[in-house]
Structure 1
Amino acid sequence: MVSIDIVYNPFKVETLIKENGRLMDIEGSKMPCKPGVRLQEWVDNLFDELDKTCNSQSYEINFHGLEADYRDVEEAAVAAREKGYDIRLQWQGQAIAPIDERLDQVMQIFSEVRQDARFEKWLNNSEVEKKIESAFDSDFDVYVVATMSSGKSTLINAMLGNNLLPALNEATTATIARIFDNDAMCGKGFNGRRLGSSGDVLDERRHVTLETLVEWNGKKDTARIDIEGDIVGVRQRENVRLVITDTPGPNNSQDQDHKLVTYRAIEDGTRRPLILYILNATQLGINDDKLLLEEIASLIKKGGKQARDRFVFVVNKMDVFDPEKGEHIEAVLGRVRKYLQELGIEEPRVYPVSANLARMLRVRDVGGALTRNDRGELNKLEDLFNEEPCMDMTQYMPVSEKVRRGVNDRGLSDLLIKSGMPTLEAVVDDYIDRYALPIRVERAYEAFLAIIAQLQAEMALDEALAEASHNVAQLEKDVAALKEKAEQGFGTQAYRDELEASIDTMEGETINALHKVRSEGESALRKIGKEFSGEASIKAAGRKLEASVKQLEEIYEMIVVKYEEVFKKSQEVTKNRLEQDYKAHVESVFSDVAGINFGVMEGIKNSLQAFDLKLRISKEDIATRDIEVGRSKVSVSTWYKPWTWGKTKTVIDYEQEEYVDLGEYWENHSPEITESWSGVFEAAGQHVKEGRRILIERMLEFMSREFDVRFGKLFADIEAKVADKGKLDRELAMLREHKQALDAIRDRLDKVLDV
């Protein structure tokens, strides 16, 4: 049996593995747990990769890290045992400090750094600022997604403990509602704002009610409603503000931009918000959610453990089933799992709840008013859930003992717990612990390391200058030689020419990503076309066309969001390539400089390479509407004309009957659809190129305007220090003192983040 020690630090995203006491060379091996790769991305394949590396299927594993990460390893071990592995697993992290406590300490340390004037110079860097923004952004997004009649609004009201959102049978979510948790407002109601499409505030009120939201929802100029108040169902935290977004659902909004919110949340690979996907167990497969669920299945397959955890399938309205009538809960959940598996979601995690029961209990407990119908329904459900052991929803939920303990320790009534809602809310809390908080800590740590790297580069140059200052004449000669080379342009014109020539040349991975999305869209069109065969009555053909238009619109929305993701990734790829090319250019500048003091040369080179290139693109730079050039042709198309459907044919009794030849119809009209979609695909490519062009032009602008200025300032500083050794010594002493202070802060951070 091979002894394996795994040390995983989710805050620094570092993994150490020892095999029989010997440290494994992870970077030099094929093990997937490379630096910067989260455990949830590689844990599914851990034991198969250990088998390849250690040539064994028998392991004694000691895991050092957070309990949440240990549970993921434990889950992977269960799956490995089913394949024949012999695994003994132990967790060695019982004394580890809670993550909330760590985040509090990290935020405190970082606040001290931000307020310290000594470090202001290095904080003013776009990449550092970006990481700081991410670390201090306390909002955590939960998107509630459902098709009609799934009880989505009822579920959110249950989390609020208030009858705030309209919960009718029709499509009530005409606008997007965002609910911001504010525990200080507990028992004080909710405040709200009604916003227009450009984000302007149209109305703002304190103590909004159900009637207020119904009124706002009915106004045509309402694009979004923001609500602030206490979300009673989730745990109070100092450093996390929960934001619940009540989305319109894939087929539940007249506004195309509203519908895109759902798809963007699902495809968001950067923030990775939690998705509560609400299913109605009584209406599986009839609400047109097939395409959306298939896309989720694809994302789960590609995304590993975190992607599985990110999509929570909630089966609502479990209270409509009555065991006395032979309606068994296990059988119902079995049908749900089968439905999801048939759509490609392997081993779906299903959470059954009665949101209505939880809503009524919480409203009653705080002295809220229940309608006569609610009071009668609550009496009936209390009898059902108290008398039938099988109606305890928690027994069917795939959660850890830690989550169960957390629910039981909240002092809630047994009946509320049986509804399943408190356990579902604990799953949300657990996701925040496992993913949201560690990522925020990681961003703060990365920002801090970036500050240290800038200071070290500046200090290294001063130290090299101080070291070389014993021979002032030679040092002045070296600096003059470099300055002369700079005045000759440092070869930047050739570099600029190369940049300009590359504007229209996209990176290979971006081209492949664009082709992949186009291929998926064309494949979806062909699939729809294959359904047009045979003959049908005008009524049947009308229903078929209506269903196809809905399907086309849904596919179109998904394609738009996928192209947006390609755009974002293309921006990152281009930015990284430009930064690498710039550093390579600076490296080449110094490669042919002979005779200059090596330490000074390295110091200047590192200072040049550390320039903040500010290669970030904002929404103001390029609008996503460019991608939607073909939108009007697809979504409001007249690609079918009802008055042209009818033809006549002779039947046996010689009466005339109108019919539609579906195959012929598709053949006649599909070129128009294909042409419209080709316009979308072409526009997407142009959109990505435009974004890339902006980044390259920004780089050219930097080389044309800022590089020479910054280089000149750098050399002016160097010349001043060479001329005044006392000034150089004073600045070097100051930098060393700053470095010592930062090292002390880093030691504090390392202790906080130690596992």
Structure 2
Amino acid sequence: MAEVLVRYNPYKLETSFACNGKEITEESKLYALRTERLQVWVDRLPRILSEECNDDAIHVVFHGTFLDYEDLAGTLEESEIDGVEFTHAHIPAKESDDKFRELVALFDEMQAGPFDDLKDAQIQENFRKALGSEFEVSVIATMSSGKSTLINAMLGQELVPSKNEACTATIARVRDVDGMEGFTASCLDENLNVVIEEQPADLEAMKRFNEDKRVSYIHVNGDIPFVQTRRTNLILVDTPGPNNSRNTDHADHTYRVIKNDAKPLVLYVLNATQLATDDDNELLRKVSEAMKVGGKQSKDRFLFAVNKIDQYDVEREDNIEEALRNTRNYLEKHEIFNPNLYPTSAETAKVIRLHQRGAALTRRQESTLSNYDLFNDFPNMHLTQYTNLPTARKRELEEEARHARESGDHYAETLIHSGVPALEEAINEYLDKYAVTAKIKNAVDTFRKKVEEKMMFDMLLKSIEHNSGEKERINVRLRQVELQLQEGKATSAFKTRLSGLTVNAQSEQGIEGLQSKVELMIKGLIKQPNRMTVNEAEQALAKTIRKMTALQSDVKTELEKLVSEGLLTDAERLLAEYTSYIQSLMEDGDVHVGQHALASETFILGDLPDSAELIKRHKREEREKTGEEEVRNESKRWYKPTTWFQPKYYTRDIFETREYVDGNKMMDEFLQPVRGEFYENIIRATKHMKEETERLKKFFLSEIDKLEAVIKRKVVELKELTGDSRALELRIRDDREKIHWLNGFIAKLDAVLEI
């Protein structure tokens, strides 16, 4: 049996591998995985181990956090490599709870430490931000999926309007505030100006806000009950469907969330009884693209709630599995494989939680509550069993259900079987696995940055004190630095390189790709029958408008991404290079680079042609046979012998005047101006990228000047100290014991990130 030791640090994103007691070499495929997040490579691990261990039995010992161990164990257990049996064991590591306690203790120690400049308000604020960073869970869906009902179920009360006439037309951000009673809300317009000040919020207030034409964004504060971790400030974002928003910014937001490289969690709500809508098709295409990049985390961040699952025939054995099989097949058509499915009955969960809070129920809600036995009495309605939760989490929920049943709390049991608690558990697991570890690393980096800045300067002072030769060497170095800065050759070279920045080839290729995408879609839509009924023409135009609106958001967010990933990346790389050069002059980390904010470019299609007028222009009337009828032969008479042998009745064709539309001409007239506006927008965006290039150059060139100013101040300060032995002696004497404290503090900081 081969034994493999995997030691994974999720805070540093470092992994070490050893096979049969020997560290892997550069020739191993595992070597390239050492600095990647476990979830990026864990799916490939069984195959690599089977190839490199060359054994039919492989035992993997994992040293790391429990959540990461569950991912690894699950992958090994599901592996289907012929002739290889995997077993696994876990060496526990410090979990995130321990890390947060250590960080808070270190912050308190720093505030009680000997350095006054490590106690200033800015450092305290930076630490609070590092530990208080927000994490968004965006809930997206198309019409009639039960999205608002699901959000209300998770909130434990009715806050978000769920009727069709009041469904989401704004973006509501519900921020978790632990222990808060009730909810408050403030409202902003599309330019983020406050139009309604913060006030208590309930369902009726949210309906008013949603119907107010001024309101584009609603910021809500309140306690989100299901958030278990107190280490993440979760924000639940209720996003309008792409064709149900008040302005295009909302549809853009949905596309940005899907494409976001920071990988926020996305909860996609599907209606189990109504798959394959046009709106779903557009969104799922972008979800599929996002899931193909970035390994397991990209897959983990999309949770699919298959809602209204209880509307199937609960007394059929295979109904739920059949519904989920249909959902998987539907998603596979969009190249979404092995999705994280969570069957739910949001209405059941919401009603039970309302009842548990003592809220008054409507007659319909009372009826829903009375059907609790459908979930409790039929094992196939225990929805937790169908989820992608780790086995240990499923067992915990099943144990809670068993305990509720034994204690006679039927509603608590039904709540667990409704699938909503399993979905909430999946959200908590993602927060712990990805958001919390990143937050811990950011907090340590915030500490270390300030402490190292202080330590480097004081270490330099100490070297001057103990070695007169070192003092002279530093004076020589200072003169060299001054000379380099005065000559300005390096600075001039960097400025020249920055000035030469242009929109890179990759960005230009991306723009060409967008033009091709627009052309391909428009060509596909123009092809319509020459002869369509008015109803068919209206449906075709409605479908086209939906596709154009989705394409507008897709193109706009792709253009934004091209700017941020192309131009900005090149400029920041050059500036980081120059920052390193400046730091190397003085061996000092106390230089900072400013952040450049990209300007946005509005992408507008303008007013689309009026559908009714367009149909009217291309409408024509045709006389069309619609049937036949038997009519009496009025010419047949007894007194006309020549008619005696004619039939008494004969068949006559029935004609009606009907209206038809030339679909090809209609769609061509509709799409030609739209095509022109798309191209104008893309040309304008290209021009904007070039203008943004110039603005970005000016910004970064000014940053270079600021960095030079910083280093010049350092030179003056050190020259003064090296020239005044008495002042230097007093400064060193004051800082001597502080150096020891700094060394100990940095060691503790490093220990926080160890497992």
**Range class of TM-score, shorter chain:** 0.7 to 0.9
Aligned counterparts of 1:465 and 1:244: Cα–Cα separation in 2: 55
Instruction: Give the superposition deviation at 1:522.
Output: 4.0
Contact 1:81 1:87 in 2 (8 A): no
What does residue range 228-239 of structure 1 map to in structure 2 within 5 Å?
Answer: 228-235=221-228, 237-239=229-231
Structure 2 Cα separation of the partners of residues 32 and 249 of structure 1: 44
The 1:287/1:281 distance shift into structure 2, 3 A limit, reads farther
Q: Is the 8 A contact 1:567 1:687 kept in 2?
A: no
* 1:731 CA drift (Å): 4.4
Q: Aligned partners of 2:392, 2:108: CA distance in 1, in Å?
A: 32
How far does residue 53 in structure 1 lie from its aligned partner after superposition? 5.4
Give 1:407's aligned residue.
Answer: 397
Q: Which residue of 1 aligns with 2:578?
A: 582
Q: Does 1:569 align with 2:550?
A: no
Report how far residue 739 of structure 1 moved: 4.5
Q: Distance in 2 between matches of 1:178 and 1:488?
A: 54
- Specify the alignment match of 2:302 in structure 1: 311
Q: TM-score, with normalisation over the residues of structure 2?
A: 0.86
Paired residue type of 1:524: M
The Cα of 1:648 is off from its aligned counterpart by: 7.2
* 1:683 counterpart = 2:684: yes
Give 2:608's aligned residue.
636
Q: Which residue of 1 aligns with 2:174?
A: 179
Deviation of the 1:460 alpha carbon: 5.8
Q: State the distance in 1 between where 2:443 and 2:591 align.
A: 21
Q: Which residue in the other structure is 2:635 paired with?
A: none
- Which amino acid in structure 2 is aligned with residue 87 of structure 1? F
Q: Quote the residue 1:251 is aligned against.
A: 243
> How far, CA to CA, are the matches of 2:52 and 2:508 in structure 1?
35
TM-fit CA distance, 1:463: 5.6
Q: Secondary structure at the match of 2:115?
A: helix
User: Residue 23 of structure 1 aligns with which residue?
Assistant: 23
Partner Cα distance (1:475, 1:279) in 2: 67
Deviations along 1:699-723, whole A, 9 cap, x unmatched?
212334x344333312212321221
Question: Do the aligned partners of 1:417 and 1:423 also contact (CA within 8 Å) in 2?
Answer: yes
1:283 to 266, 274, 283: 274
CA deviation string 1:260-307 (max 9, x = no partner): 22222222212x221111111111113521011111111111121111
Could you tell which deviates more after superposition, 661-670 or 254-263?
661-670
Matched, 1:147 2:162: no
Shift of 1:338: 1.0
1:355 aligns with 2:354: no
Q: Which amino acid counterpart does residue 11 of structure 2 have in structure 1?
A: F
1:461 CA drift (Å): 4.5
SS at match of 1:183: coil
Q: Secondary structure at the match of 2:196?
A: strand
Question: What residue is the counterpart of 2:420 in the other structure?
Answer: 421
Partner of 1:332: 323
Letter in 2 for 1:636: L
Rounded to whole Å, the distance in 1 between the matches of 2:737 and 2:271 is 63
The secondary structure found in structure 2 opposite 1:560 is: helix
| CA deviation vs aligned residue, 1:23-53 (integer Å, no higher than 9, x gap) | 2246x75436555421111222223344565
1:435, CA displacement in angstroms? Answer: 0.8
Matches of 1:64 and 1:226 in 2, distance apart? Answer: 42
Shift of 1:491: 4.8
Q: Which moved more, 1:473-482 or 1:101-110?
A: 473-482
Look up the SS of the partner of 2:587 in the other structure.
Answer: helix
Give, in whole Å, the separation in 1 of the partners of 2:719 and 2:163.
75
User: For 1:463-482, what per-residue CA distance to the aligned partner results, in whole angstroms no more than 9, with x for missing partners?
Assistant: 66557633877765564454
Change (3 A) 1:734 1:648: farther
Out of 398, 403, 412, the residue aligned to residue 388 of structure 2 is 398
Q: Does 1:160 align with 2:159?
A: no
- 1:22: Cα distance to partner? 1.9
Listed as ranges, the gaps of 5+ residues in structure 2 are 405-411, 626-652
Deviation at 1:687, TM superposition (A): 3.6
| Corresponding residue of 2:591 | 611
**Alignment-derived partner of residue 536 in structure 1:** 532
1:209 corresponds to: 202
Query: What secondary structure, in the 3-state scheme, does the structure 2 residue paired with 1:61 have?
Result: strand
Q: Is the 8 A contact 1:277 1:311 kept in 2?
A: yes
Instruction: Give how far 1:558 is off.
Output: 1.8
Q: For residues 135-169 of structure 1, what are the alpha-carbon distances to aligned partners after superposition, in whole Å with 9 as ceiling and x for unaligned?
A: 22342211111111111111111112212222213
Say if 1:709 and 1:343 are closer, same or farther in 2 by CA, change over 3 A.
closer
TM-score normalised to structure 1 length: 0.86
Once the two structures are TM-superposed, the CA of residue 234 in structure 1 deviates from its matched residue by 3.1
Equivalent residues of 1:406, 1:426 under 8 A apart: no
| Letter in structure 2 aligned against 1:233 | F
Aligned to 2:441: 442
Per the TM alignment, residue 519 of structure 1 is displaced from its structure 2 partner at its CA by 4.2
Maintained 8 Å contact 2:518/2:675? no
Q: Are 1:87 and 2:95 matched, yes or no?
A: no
Q: Relative to 1, partners in 2 of residues 1:734 and 1:339: Cα closer, same or farther, differing over 3 Å? A: farther
1:686-725 → structure 2 map (5 Å cutoff): 686-704=687-705, 706-725=706-725
AA in 2 matched with 1:396: Y
Name which of structure 1's ranges 3-12 and 410-419 shifts more when overlaid on structure 2.
410-419
AA at the equivalent of 2:389: V
SS in structure 2 opposite 1:46?
helix
C-alpha distance 436-637 of structure 1, shift in aligned 2 (>3 A): farther
Residue 499, structure 1, aligned to residue 479, structure 2: no
Deviation at 1:8, TM superposition (A): 0.4
Kindly indicate whether the alpha-carbon contact (under 8 Å) linking 1:314 and 1:350 is maintained by their aligned counterparts in 2: yes
Overall identity of the aligned pairs, in % = 28
Residue equivalent to 1:590: none
Which one-letter code corresponds to 1:209 in the other structure? D
1:406 deviation in Å?
Answer: 4.4
Larger radius of gyration: 2
Within 2, Cα distance between the matches of 1:471 and 1:74? 56
Q: Which amino acid aligns with 1:554?
A: A
Q: Residues 660 and 302 (structure 1 numbering): CA distance in 2 closer, same or farther, change over 3 Å?
A: same
C-alpha distance in 2 between matches for 1:464 and 1:688 = 49
In the TM superposition, residue 577 of structure 1 has moved relative to its aligned partner by 1.8
| Consecutive unaligned residues in structure 1, runs of 5 or more | 588-601
RMSD: 3.4
2: CA distance, partners of 1:107 / 1:571: 39
> Highest relative contact order (Cα 8 Å, sep 6+), 1 or 2?
1
